[in-house]
Amino acid sequence: MNIESRIKELTELLNKYAYEYYTLDRPSVEDDEYDRLYHELVALESDNPQLIRADSPTHRTGDVILDGFEKFRHPYNLYSLGDVFSREELAVWEERVRKDIPNPEYICELKIDGLSLSLYYEEGILVTAATRGDGLVGENITENVKRIKDVPLQLSEPIDIVVRGEAYLPRTNFSKLNAERELEGLAAFANPRNAAAGTLRQLDTKVVAKRGLATFLYQEASDATNDTQEEVLEYFVRLGFQVNPVRKFARNMDEIWEFIEQATLLRDELAYDIDGVVVKVNNLAQQEELGFTVKAPRWAIAYKFPAEVAETEILDVEWTV
């Protein structure tokens, strides 16, 4: 098959998978298969930029949104993340950061495997909650998000702020939900991410309240009120948000990799699913300097875990809390 045909084939296939995953919450292939095909397309497109198709999935975030919810236009583009799958690929990203930022400080966080959402507060009151959608337009799921117990309806300060985070279904609630569905003769959800996405798209808010979703907030989408990512997270805690306590500073690849190894070992012990680690430049002014590609920030990267992780003993890790 020639390159042009392969690009067309991959574009169509990946768009179909993305629709099943993001819009229908019913993926037909495993994530690592999607990622493998996606990166094949990225490589072909980068060698043959004249063949990039207008509907290429490498040039947009998420997917079209379902009818049933009001559409919500985000005032800020909610970018996705670039991803890497090996230490070598991560080192290429880190080297690229170092070109612009001589002595970067990084903050390494767990990559929560849930559904991306943004919360809009006015004078400290939750007014809107929306899915990321394609980064520009999401679904207005405010009434459902109000049923998530750990989302503050009112912050400790009367501020206007937009925060980004992940809604997820804790593993125990996922098992309970699937057991109940089995008794009722309903199809089980494939994984907690899938169940969380399906739950937030429920039209009946009582169902959402019953399922026990939870959140971790990790980013300020409105204009920065702090100087570093670490300060943002500490501020979020004071405002009343749930923030994941597992994170670590790093100054070079060895320290980043150490966190990834620790997170890999911790993975099975957590109360929720993670699918990798997110490494971010800690200083927000430096983040701004690095900017964005068409789809993702240059100042952050997702390291994705391999599909199968061998179970080994947990290291005694000291986390920054």
Write down the least CB distance from residue 111 to ligand NAD, Å.
Answer: 4
Which of 23/210 has CB closer to ligand NAD? 23
CA–centroid distance for 212 within its chain: 19
Cβ(114)–Cβ(192) below 8 Å:
yes
Give the number of other CB atoms < 10 A from CB of residue 139.
22
Alpha-carbon distance 109 to 317, whole Å?
A: 14
Write down the least CB distance from residue 194 to ligand NAD, Å.
Answer: 10
Which of 239/274 has CB closer to ligand NAD? 274
Report CA-CA distances (Å) from 172 to 34, 152, 190, 213, 305.
27, 23, 15, 11, 22
60 is in an annotated binding site: no
280 is in an annotated binding site: yes
Which of 186/307 has CB closer to ligand NAD? 307
118 is in an annotated binding site: no
| Binding interface with ligand NAD (CB under 6 A) | 17-18, 20-21, 27, 29-31, 34-35, 61, 80-81, 83, 109, 111-112, 116, 132, 166, 218, 278, 302
35 is in an annotated binding site: yes
Alpha-carbon distance 12 to 320, whole Å?
A: 43
Which of 128/194 has CB closer to ligand NAD? 194
Give the number of other CB atoms < 10 A from CB of residue 164.
19
80 is in an annotated binding site: yes
Q: Which residue is nearest to ligand NAD (CB)?
A: 116
Write down the least CB distance from residue 21 to ligand NAD, Å.
Answer: 3
Residues sharing a CB contact under 8 Å with residue 58, sequence separation 6 or more, in sequence order:
38, 41, 42, 45, 52, 295
Write down the least CB distance from residue 31 to ligand NAD, Å.
Answer: 3
Alpha-carbon distance 143 to 120, whole Å?
A: 13
Cβ(282)–Cβ(105) below 8 Å:
yes
Which of 208/263 has CB closer to ligand NAD? 263
8 is in an annotated binding site: no
Give the number of other CB atoms < 10 A from CB of residue 97.
18
Assign 186 to helix, strand or coil: coil
DSSP letter string, 230-260: HHHHHHHHHHT------EEEESSHHHHHHHH
Write down the least CB distance from residue 185 to ligand NAD, Å.
Answer: 26
Write down the least CB distance from residue 109 to ligand NAD, Å.
Answer: 4
Assign 34 to helix, strand or coil: helix
289 is in an annotated binding site: no
Sort 54 into a burial class: Cβ within 10 Å, 0-12 / 13-18 / 19+: exposed
Is 16 considered catalytic here?
no
147 is in an annotated binding site: no
The neighbouring-strand residues paired with 112 are 274
Which of 121/303 has CB closer to ligand NAD? 303
Q: Could you say which of 111, 176, 206, 248 is catalytic?
A: 111
User: Active-site positions?
Assistant: 111
Query: Binding site, residues?
Result: 31-35, 80-81, 109, 132, 166, 280, 304
Binding residue numbers for NAD(+): 31-35, 80-81, 109, 132, 166, 280, 304
